[in-house]
Structures are given as structure tokens and as C-alpha cells.
Amino acid sequence: MTTEFTFPKIHSFPPLYTKQPNATILSNQLDSWSQIVLQYCEYYKITSMTLHGTPKVSQLDVNLESLPSLFQNKTINRTVNSDLQTSIFNHLIHKLNKAEYINPKKPDLGIYIYWRTIVEWAQLLYDFVDKSGQLGTVLTLYELTKSEDSGVPESLRNLDEALLIKVLKEVLIKQGKAQLLMTEEGEIGGVKIV
Amino acid sequence: MGQQPSTPKITAQDRAIFQLKQQRDKLKEYQRRLTFVIDKQTNLARQALKNNQPDRAKFYLRSKKQQESTIVKTCEQLDNLEGLIGTIEFKLIEKDVIYGLEQGNKVLKKLNNEMKIEKIDKILDDLEDEKLKVDEIGDALGMGSGLSKSEEIEVDEEFEKLDQEVNGIKEQPKKDDVVVPDLPEAPQVGILPDAPRQSLEEAQKQEEEENKDKQAQTYEPIAS
């Protein structure tokens, strides 16, 4: 990644870092933050984050620690406190449906950020398998995400396997378009998409 | 509860291919790891040289060489696996093709069985019989469907007469036009009169018509 993400101007607006008491203004504030989170994650292809806004998994081959921090603005010396962070993520999860707990029973594991919804991910995946004439053949999760020579489009490359499995389970299998294959160790290792 | 959409079935072949592909993925991962190790060893060798430890550098390079040859070997194995996967997938397609041919053959056979020549002959005969019956009934009731053959011939005659009336006159000047340029100009006017020629033609046509009548009469017994 050569150029850094440029935050929108509002990211340097000090009041944005204090939870607003007025409900309407708060709602606007949370909307603004949600937009920033989504843009930030899309830019760095971050598919999941911790509850503190630290990137967990990205499709890009970058050092996640080197990315500019999302909830901290050093130039204006402001940081989003954890209460507001929780509100922002709750807004993303429950209001906008643009995020989801990785494991609802263990919220500490972090959340998926859906700058692309899982239905859209499923569509991308299905289109690729269809166009490459691989409908009805068995594909390993490895070749769907990591393999260099399987012709996977850039948009799908290096996709978090956990998210990929979620996409398969919650969309394609429900549509009757996919079936999972287990490895000998009992893990999900492959999928047949028809 | 509720309706579950039918999920695609995983066949034994799918499983086999899946296992092969898993092996392939493992090999690829192994290659990645080796490449990583090689990079590390190159760096270590460089560092050893800087620290004036030529033996150590050589050791690293040797071990790097070994990793490289291992990579080549894994490449061959990968080739094997990919080849096998390809062969299996192709065989599966061939199986489908053969199945298709089999099905097609079955259908064709069935259709051919339904169309035995004797059967068709019989059907055609029956059809002819039925047609005759229809004609008979029509005749018996005195109102055949359409015209009888003799009537048909009468129509033809009338048509020819009309045709002559309408087109015959037009044809004649044409014939003259064709003849005129061939003949020398002077004798044409006086020596050859038109009248006898016409009567000859008419006579010929009448003869022809008489012949047709005779022919028609000979056909009639066959028709009824």
C-alpha cells in the first residue's frame, strides 16, 4: 500500500470525538463515524476489527499495525473513548446492518465490517466460479483465496477464510447452490458450488 | 423445520478430487514456506559474510541450495497431482458424454422400433382403404368430394379453350415477329398468304384435342 487513507475532513472536527447528548445530533454523529469506519475498512480491505477499532484481518499484504489509527487523530489530539466506540459499532451492527459479531457469544473476538455485504461477497464468488467454468467442481478454500495461479479476481484474493465460510453457509448453502466438504480433521476444507 | 432447498450432492469422485486438491494445496503451502526459508537463508549468508564468517555463509548457501532442489521436486509432484486431477475431471466429462450417447441411442432405438417398415406399409394401406371408402360413400351419395376425373379433364379442356381465346391471339403476332427478320422483304407480301397457315395450325390443334379425348377415355376405367 503506497498511499495512506485520507480521512474525510470531519475526522479532524473535534466535537466528533465527544459523544453528543442530543439524540438527533448523536444519530448524525454515529452516521458520520459509521461512514468513516466503512470507508477506512474498504480502503484497506479490512474485513474484521476488534471492538477497539484495530484492524484484525485484511485482504492486503500490509502490516496492520502500520495503518493510521481509526479512532485517534493525533493532529487535533483527540481520541474516541471506548463508550463512543461501542456506540459506533452498535450503530453499525444494529442500525445499519453493516457489521456483525464474529461470534455473538464472544463479542470480544471482534466484528466483521461489511463494506461489502455477505450477499455481495457471495455474488462475487459465484460469478467467479461461474465465469471460470468451475460450477459443479470441487474447490478448496485455499485455492479460492490464497492460491496465486487459480485466477481468483483481486476482489476475492486473500479473503478471510472465516468470512468466506460465513458467506458460503449463510448465503450460497441457503440458496441450495453450495455444499461444504470436510477435511479428515473435521474442518471445512472445500466447497462445491453449482 | 421449513423447506430446505436441496443441497448439491457430494459424490465419491468429488471427494477424490477434493483430497487431491488438498494435497496440492499442501504442496503449494510447503513451497511458500521453503521460499520464505530460502530468502531468510540468503540474508543470513549475507550477514555471515559481513561478519567475516565464510564457513557459516557457505553452510547457509548449501542449505539454501538444498531447499531449492526440494522446491523443484515438489514442483514435479505438483505436476503429477494436477495431471491426475485433470485426468479425473476429464474422465468424468467423458462419462457424461457416454451417458449422453447411451440415452440418445436408447431414444433413437425406441423411435425406430415404432417406425418398422411393415407397420408403415400397413398404415399406408389402411389409409388408402379408408380413402377409397370415403370416395365410395361420396359417390353413393352423389356428391363426391370435389370433381371426378372425367370432370377434371373437362375442366382442363375448357381451360385450354379459354387460354387460346385469351392468349392465342397474342401469341400469333409474336410468332410473326420472330419470322419476319429472317425472310427477305419483297416476296413476303405477295407470295405467302396468311390464311392457309392458320387453318393448318387449327387443324393440328383439333387433332391434338381429339387425341387427348381418346387418352382421357382410356384412363377413365382405371379411375372409377
Its CATH architecture, for the domain A118-193, is: Orthogonal Bundle (1.10)
A135 touching chain B per CB within 8 A: no
Residue A102's pLDDT is 93
Pairing mode, if any, of strands A55-58 and A46-49?
antiparallel
A46-50, A115-119, B74-78, B219-223: least confident range: B219-223
**In chain B, where are the structural domains located?**
12-114, 116-146, 148-185+195-224
Q: Is residue B2 scored above 60 in pLDDT?
A: no
Q: Is residue A140 scored above 60 in pLDDT?
A: yes
- pLDDT band with cut points at 50, 70 and 90 for residue B115: confident
Residue B1's pLDDT is 47
CB contact set of A150 (below 8 Å; sequence gap of 6+): A143, A144
Q: Is residue B187 scored above 70 in pLDDT?
A: no
- Which of B3, B13, B25 to probe by mutation at the A interface, max A CB count within 10 Å? B25
Closest chain B residue to A173 measured between Cα atoms? B7
- Which of A126, A129, A132, A138 to probe by mutation at the B interface, max B CB count within 10 Å? A138
- pLDDT band with cut points at 50, 70 and 90 for residue B221: low
**A154-159 mean pLDDT:** 90
Residue B220's pLDDT is 53
- pLDDT band with cut points at 50, 70 and 90 for residue A149: confident
Q: What percent of chain A has pLDDT over 90?
A: 68
Rounded CA gap, A12 and A114, in Å?
Answer: 24
| Eight-state DSSP code of residue A172 | I
**In chain A, where are the structural domains located?**
9-113, 118-193
Q: Is residue B155 scored above 80 in pLDDT?
A: yes
Amino acid occupying residue A28: N
A36-40, B7-11, B13-17: least confident range: B7-11
Rounded CA gap, B125 and B207, in Å?
Answer: 40
**B12-37 mean pLDDT:** 89
Residue B224's pLDDT is 47
Average pLDDT, chain A: 91
Question: Which chain A residues are Cβ-neighbours of B15 within 8 angstroms?
Answer: 181
- pLDDT band with cut points at 50, 70 and 90 for residue B196: low
**A78-86 mean pLDDT:** 92
Residue A151's pLDDT is 79
A9-113, superfamily in CATH? Answer: "Winged helix" DNA-binding domain. Chain C. Domain 1 (1.10.10.570)
Partner residue facing B5 (CB), from A147, A176, A181: A176
Q: Do the domains spanning A9-113 and A118-193 agree at the CATH topology level?
A: yes
Rounded CA gap, A133 and A164, in Å?
Answer: 20
**A80-93 mean pLDDT:** 93
Cell (9 digits) for B73: 521436486
Residues of B with CB under 8 A from a CB of A: 5-10, 14-15, 17-18, 21-22, 25, 28-29, 89
Interface confidence, given as ipTM, is 0.77
pTM value is: 0.65
Three-state secondary structure along B79-140?
HHHHHHHHHHHHHHHHHHHHHHHHHHHHHHHHHHHHCCHHHHHHHHHHHHHHHHHHHHHHHH
DSSP string, A28-94: HHHHHHHHHHHHHHHHTTEEEE-TTS-EEEESS-S-GGGSPPSSEETTTTEE--HHHHHHHHHIIII
Q: Is residue B180 scored above 90 in pLDDT?
A: no
Cell (9 digits) for A28: 448524525
Residue B197's pLDDT is 57
Q: Is residue A53 scored above 70 in pLDDT?
A: yes
A126 vs A149, residue with greater confidence: A126
